[in-house]
Amino acid sequence: MSFSAIINSFKGVDSFNTFSLPYKKLIIGFTIFNFLFERYVSFRQYKLLQKKDKKLPKVLEGKIDTKKFEESDAYGLAKSKFEMFSSTLGVVLSIATLLIQPFVWNYSVFYGDKILSFILRREYHMNLIASNIAFFILFTLISTLTSFPLSYYQHFVLEEKFGFNKMTKKLFFTDLIKTNLLVFVLASPIIYLLGWILKKCTDNFIFYIWLFVLFLQVTMFLLNDLVIQPMFNKFTPLDNQELKDKIDALAKECGFPLSKIFMVDGSKRSSHSNAYFTGLPFMKKKIVIFDTLIKDSSVDEVVAVLGHEIGHWKMNHITKMLIFSQIHFAVFFKLFESVYKNESLFSNLGFIIDRSSLKTTATLPGSNIAVINDYPFLIGLILFSQLIQPTDTLMSFCLNLFSRHNEYEADKYAADLGKGEKLKTALISLQVANLSTISVDSLFSMYHYSHPTLPERLEAIDKHIIASEKKEN
């Protein structure tokens, strides 16, 4: 198929707007199918972890003791059981929320109108965009309330049992409140702009949406770096001079545009450890190291981990991911454009479009049918995301495959810097410190893991070192 034929077939999708299908049944069907597939994948992992006579992989023999091996698999088993419970609850909740969306819409618009009328001291009816924002706020509050008991259990029972939880209850609740406030503050203007683009830019919709998404990505990146992260964690300039000098030397050797090195108090919440760099393309980069990583590893090991991180930069992995996500967004919104005015999609889920109505809902709270005078685009977006769930499943396989490939490349890069051996011991101590599961089922890892497993990485590094030595001789 030629390029123009692809474009033309895309233009044809406009006819989806009149497409009538049993949407409610389809969405519920996809949700259940996804759930069953994920349960099958998790069950394979569960079975593997339950086996009594598991053996430590050869590459790890003598490097991890049996006690740690058993402990990390016990942690994996506990996580697996928790996931079985939480995902079952999750699927029930997600179907329930799908079915009560008109109900939530009616409530949010009715009370949104009332609150604004009270503030403005005159009768006020929200327009479509404001109604969508009100719906979003109420919907988010409901999902926070239903999901927080699970998150509480995860931190204070599961993670606590294995000694990872460092969070106090006070911190947990302030995090929860901060996160929700942040979501409202950030999402409201985003919903506003999306509604505005949908209304004004009907001709070149995809171009404007793409511009909008790009703008969002850059803004969110800057906000995250400068405002959001510091709201939750403390970043202090690295004070370990030896480590600092070695990182500086490494950056110079690789041509990495390093600006500053920070240590972050990851230990405030958990003893899981990590390191990463941030910075816009073509700009100076900041390196962030978790205090837990510095505590658990030697200076040379931390440097080797950063060699791996610089490898990601050198191989343009972030730029590649960015291009990939741009294409993903463009396709997503192109298809969305073709369904968000599909009347039968909305009516199937209890939203009746009646242009003669003056308000954004003509229905009183308590009713599970919402009569609206225009398309509720946010609900369209939610329904559309649920309709394309099967492609998401496929997408996570592809993304993980790509990401794993990048991890191997970054490991090789660090090995070429002569840091292969240190990287190996660093990865082993990270594995021990994080109690990452050692026994992993192949399908489970393909679906869930963005990184190869530890034995896979160690073997690949060994192979690469041997191959490079042969080349040199």
Binding site for Zn ion (CB under 5 A): 407, 410
CA–CA gap between residue 64 and residue 233 (Å, rounded)? 32
Question: Which are the contacts of 80, defined by CB distance < 8 A and separation ≥ 6?
Answer: 42, 45, 46, 49
Of 155 and 404, which has the nearer Cβ to Zn ion? 404
Instruction: In angstroms, give the least distance from the CB of 133 to Zn ion.
Output: 38
Q: In this structure, are residues 334 and 6 in contact, taking their beta carbons and an 8 Å threshold?
A: no
H/E segment holding residue 451: none
Question: Which are the contacts of 15, defined by CB distance < 8 A and separation ≥ 6?
Answer: 338
CA–CA gap between residue 467 and residue 175 (Å, rounded)? 48
| Radius of gyration of the chain measured on its C-alpha atoms | 25
Of 184 and 276, which has the nearer Cβ to Zn ion? 276
Instruction: In angstroms, give the least distance from the CB of 76 to Zn ion.
Output: 21
309 is catalytic: yes
CA distances from 135 to 125, 217, 218, 467 (A): 14, 24, 27, 59
Query: Residues forming the annotated binding site for Zn(2+)?
Result: 308, 312, 407
| Of 441, 439, 446, nearest in space to 402 by CA | 446
Q: Check 73, 83, 159, 309 and give the catalytic one.
A: 309
Q: Check 73, 113, 301, 411 and give the catalytic one.
A: 411
DSSP conformational letter for 15: G
The torsion defined by the Cα of 95, 101, 107 and 110, in degrees rounded to 10, comes to 180
Tokens 């209850």 appear where? 169
Instruction: In angstroms, give the least distance from the CB of 431 to Zn ion.
Output: 14
Instruction: In angstroms, give the least distance from the CB of 310 to Zn ion.
Output: 10
Of 172 and 276, which has the nearer Cβ to Zn ion? 276
Query: Residues forming the annotated binding site?
Result: 308, 312, 407
Q: In this structure, are residues 404 and 451 in contact, taking their beta carbons and an 8 Å threshold?
A: yes
Of 129 and 430, which has the nearer Cβ to Zn ion? 430
Of 191 and 289, which has the nearer Cβ to Zn ion? 289
| Of 455, 451, 458, nearest in space to 414 by CA | 458
| Alpha helices in 201-316, H assignment, sequence order | 205-223, 229-232, 241-254, 291-296, 299-314
Tokens standing for residue 209: 């949406």
Active-site positions read: 309, 411
